[in-house]
């Protein structure tokens, strides 16, 4: 058995298994998202960009990563 523990989260509408121990900041880095180009909502709470490292990702968390796209 691997010693790495996984947790399940809901990320942008999809269930994902990620390794335990991530902060929002490290998760964004792991999925190759530039933290400055997005806005993150954790369990419906919008996070300030300077606080991504303060929030640990926990089992069952819902994370939304959004940005601007074309629209009218």
Kindly list the residues in this chain that would bind another protein in the complex (CB under 8 A).
Answer: 11-14, 31, 33, 37-39, 41, 44, 46, 48-49, 64-72
- Lookup: tokens for 12: 């942008």
Q: Which is nearer to another protein, 2 or 34 (CB)?
A: 34
Q: Which is nearer to another protein, 41 or 59 (CB)?
A: 41
The torsion region of residue 2 among left (phi > 0), alpha (psi -120 to 50) and beta comes to beta
Q: To the nearest whole angstrom, how small is the minimum distance from the Cβ of residue 1 to another protein?
A: 28
User: Cα angle vertex 2, ends 16, 23, to 5°?
Assistant: 45
Q: Which is nearer to another protein, 1 or 44 (CB)?
A: 44
Q: Under a CB-based contact definition with an 8 Å cutoff, are residues 14 and 1 in contact?
A: no
């Amino acid at each position: 058995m691997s010693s790495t523990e996984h947790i399940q989260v809901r990320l942008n509408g999809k269930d994902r298994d990620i390794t335990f121990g991530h902060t929002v900041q490290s998760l964004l880095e792991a999925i190759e998202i530039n933290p400055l180009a997005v806005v993150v909502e954790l369990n419906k709470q919008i996070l300030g960009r300077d606080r991504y490292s303060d929030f640990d990702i926990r089992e069952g968390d819902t994370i939304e990563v959004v940005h601007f796209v074309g629209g009218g």
